[in-house]
């Protein structure tokens, strides 16, 4: 990992007023939501977490949109790669920077929630803080790899667009696949259709979800008598696959001033 790129990437986010404002606003919204939940529902017992793991997505999107793609389209890469810099290290530095930054936000948010609960009830919350944090951090590292992989393939901010198309498209496809046959051919045909195509649809949904939302469901991973090895292998595969794609793409990308002109 190249430490200079790691530091520069973090500094870039810290100096970007737009990103800080966006993340700050969202962070405040989530904390406000937590406080309102306590006040309005008159909860008397302690809940492990108000905030769903997937509420981390906007942070990752805010920081990860165009993380490499912008460097490609703006010509920064031409300058960077004219130096003796291993491209693999560049990709890894970017991934680590994005993961660390989003994980820091996730951990801070989890700790803030716990503090609010402790202050409200004047006792330490009876929660599995490790599980909550582990789930969120796994999502941060996993989705960062996906954003890096997509960003290396598509210049500019298109990685975000591609993610939306992949994930949204998959859901729309599944909804249509379920709804259309019953609309046009009646429920009997629909049932037969579903019975024969469900495994395929399930496979599509699983694959797209594992690529778009790689995370470790800690209920499955940590709370079982036999931890789900498939979940761990699936997660590791996605992270490594997306990083390999990014590294391969960077190593084969021809960037020069002549191309820019």
Partner 1 sequence: MLNNSKSIKAPSRATAMWLPVACVILFGAKLACDQFEAKCPPSFHDHVQWRNIQDAKLEAKSRQMPIFEVVTSDFNGEHFKTLERYYFSDPTLANAINKDYIPARSISKSSNNQWGPHFGYDRDSKTTVDFANVRVIPLDLQERSCDDYRLPHLYHSPGFKQNVLVFLAENKNYNSSYNVSIAKHDWCKLADVEAKAKKENKKILYFFYQQYNDTCYNVMQYPFNDYDKKKLLDKHFACSIVMERATPVTKNPVYVDKLVKKYEVQSYPSLVSVDPNTGKFEKLGGTCNRSEIDDFLKKESAK
Name the one residue in this structure whose structure tokens are 């901010």. Answer: 157
Query: CB neighbours (10 Å) of residue 157?
Result: 15
Name which of 10 and 112 has its Cβ closer to partner 1: 112
Name which of 63 and 255 has its Cβ closer to partner 1: 255
Letter string b/e over residues 73-111, b meaning 16 or more CB atoms within 10 A of that residue's CB: beeebbebbeeeeebbbbbbbbbbbbbbbbbebbbebbe
> In whole angstroms, what separates CA 58 from the centre of its chain?
9
Which member of 124, 176, 227, 260 binds partner 1 (CB under 8 A)? Answer: 227
Name which of 195 and 230 has its Cβ closer to partner 1: 230
Count of CA atoms in the C-beta half-sphere (13 A) of 247: 14
Query: CB neighbours (10 Å) of residue 255?
Result: 19
Q: How far apart are CA 132 and CA 139, in angstroms?
A: 11
CB of 197 to partner 1, least distance (A): 19
Q: Radius of gyration (Cα) for the chain, nearest Å?
A: 21
CB of 85 to partner 1, least distance (A): 7
Which member of 237, 256, 257, 260 binds partner 1 (CB under 8 A)? Answer: 237
Contact flag: residue 51 with partner 1 (CB under 8 A):
yes
CB of 228 to partner 1, least distance (A): 5
Q: How far apart are CA 213 and CA 231, in angstroms?
A: 12
Name which of 108 and 244 has its Cβ closer to partner 1: 244
Query: What DSSP designation does 154 have?
Result: S
Q: Is the alpha carbon torsion for 180, 181, 186, 192 positive or negative?
A: negative
Which member of 244, 256, 259, 260 binds partner 1 (CB under 8 A)? Answer: 244
Contact flag: residue 42 with partner 1 (CB under 8 A):
yes
Residues 114-153 that bind partner 1 (CB under 8 A): 126
Contact flag: residue 52 with partner 1 (CB under 8 A):
yes
Which residue stretch of 8-16, 93-101, 176-184, 221-229 sits at the interface with partner 1 (rule: CB under 8 A)? 221-229
Contact flag: residue 182 with partner 1 (CB under 8 A):
no
Which member of 15, 41, 196, 261 binds partner 1 (CB under 8 A)? Answer: 41
Residues that bind partner 1 (CB under 8 A): 37, 41-45, 47-52, 84-88, 126, 219-220, 223-230, 233-234, 236-237, 240-241, 243-244, 247-248, 251-252
């Amino acid at each position: 990992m190249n430490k200079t790129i790691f530091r520069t990437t973090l500094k870039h986010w810290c100096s970007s007023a737009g990103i800080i404002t966006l993340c700050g606003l969202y962070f405040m919204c989530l904390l406000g939501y937590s406080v309102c939940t306590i006040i309005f529902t008159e909860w008397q017992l302690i809940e492990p977490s108000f905030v769903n793991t997937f509420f981390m997505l906007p942070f990752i999107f805010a920081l990860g949109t165009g993380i490499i793609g912008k460097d490609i389209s703006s010509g920064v890469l031409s300058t960077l790669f004219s130096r003796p810099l291993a491209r693999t290290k560049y990709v890894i530095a970017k991934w680590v920077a994005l993961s660390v930054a989003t994980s820091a936000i996730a951990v801070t948010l989890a700790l803030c929630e716990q503090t609010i609960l402790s202050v409200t009830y004047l006792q330490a919350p009876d929660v599995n803080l490790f599980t909550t944090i582990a789930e969120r951090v796994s999502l941060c590292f996993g989705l960062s790899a996906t954003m890096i992989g997509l960003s290396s393939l598509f210049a500019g901010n298109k990685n975000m667009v591609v993610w939306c198309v992949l994930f949204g498209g998959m859901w729309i496809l599944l909804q249509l696949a379920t709804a259309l046959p019953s609309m046009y051919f009646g429920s009997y045909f629909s049932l037969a259709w579903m019975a024969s195509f469900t495994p395929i649809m399930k496979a599509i949904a699983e694959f797209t979800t594992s690529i778009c939302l790689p995370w470790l469901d800690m209920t499955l991973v940590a709370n079982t008598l036999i931890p789900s090895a498939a979940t761990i292998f699936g997660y590791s595969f996605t992270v490594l696959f997306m990083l390999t794609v990014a590294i391969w793409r960077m190593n084969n990308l021809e960037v020069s001033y002549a191309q820019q002109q």
